[in-house]
Structure 1
């Protein structure tokens, strides 16, 4: 069973069992797959170098839209222009964080320095956003419904299973953020 992340002298440490590490590795890989853009064969290398993506469009998958939301509300033209200028680098940053977190899953004991902890918090947050969209969490009542499922033996359908995974990732992220806060306080 996982042990919460805690801040210590060597960094932030958490313990994850093999099945938990496998689950996280799979979740990270799934989100990476969602975020990897379809690269057109005719792509301009200079545009790619500076991060432009003139083919960027608003995602049709609601979970992907939750990861890559419109930055400008009530102005579709400005939102699309902003997306074309920034989406490539946002995708790359998210994919980088997910890959970095996945690399730390080779051992039961996960030890993170401040930079790795930041990448982990980004990766866990992206997983939670996708799971929240799949579970249709829109408000506190929806979150309460998801938190009612607490036992793996009760997972008899996809929603129950996703609820348990969401709860696990939420708990893990919360323990990481708390450890990061302790680490910040101890540096002052």
Structure 2
């Protein structure tokens, strides 16, 4: 992947088809996990705990009320961020060589949010609690994926910051 650069009114990066396929798959998996969380799937609730933490850690009643009132809206917004990630990736994924991905500023912000959620879920699965943790004994590919997503997110932040 060649990083994001200001381009026209938005931003552009160049992705290889395999990179687009990985990002597309991750965004679709995040949407499915969020959808399962809406359905009350206990396994999804565990996986989403870092993405949808309790608003009140020391007050079970207030935390329950908050979940009842805001969880659906929060999940729907986060699913929308993941859906934004899928836009444009299918065409690149089906291609036979590197291709540009164009994002508006709003789409770039949605990408950053979705990547943040993906990194939180991966961090939880890797046993990463704070920056600097190495994680558990999961396959090294998961840790590589976590670092790659961090690089993409950082690149987007830098591109957005350079525009202002």
TM-score tier by shorter-chain length is: 0.7 to 0.9
Q: Tell me if the contact between 1:56 and 1:87 (Cα under 8 Å) persists in the aligned partners.
A: no
Give the distance between the partners of 1:19 and 1:92, measured in 2 at CA. 28
Question: Is 1:104 aligned to 2:88, yes or no?
Answer: yes
Q: Tell me if the contact between 1:67 and 1:130 (Cα under 8 Å) persists in the aligned partners.
A: yes
The higher radius of gyration belongs to 1
Q: Tell me if the contact between 1:98 and 1:119 (Cα under 8 Å) persists in the aligned partners.
A: yes
Moved over 3 A (4+): 37-40
Give the distance between the partners of 2:25 and 2:121, measured in 1 at CA. 13
Name the residue aligned to 1:115: 106
Match of residue 163, structure 1, among 143, 146, 152: 143
Q: Tell me if the contact between 1:56 and 1:83 (Cα under 8 Å) persists in the aligned partners.
A: no
Superposition RMSD on alpha carbons, in Å?
2.3
**Structure 1 unaligned residues grouped into runs of 5+:** 41-54, 147-156
- Could you tell me how far 1:158 is from its partner in structure 2? 4.6
Q: Could you state the TM-score of these two structures normalised by the residue count of structure 2?
A: 0.85
Cα-to-partner distance string for 1:145-169 (whole Å, 9 max, x where unaligned) = 36xxxxxxxxxx8520101111111
Give the distance between the partners of 1:135 and 1:162, measured in 2 at CA. 7
Match of residue 179, structure 1, among 150, 159, 163: 159
Q: How many equivalent pairs are there?
A: 156
Give the distance between the partners of 2:54 and 2:105, measured in 1 at CA. 29
Q: Could you state the TM-score of these two structures normalised by the residue count of structure 1?
A: 0.75
- Could you tell me how far 1:181 is from its partner in structure 2? 1.0
Give the distance between the partners of 2:112 and 2:24, measured in 1 at CA. 15
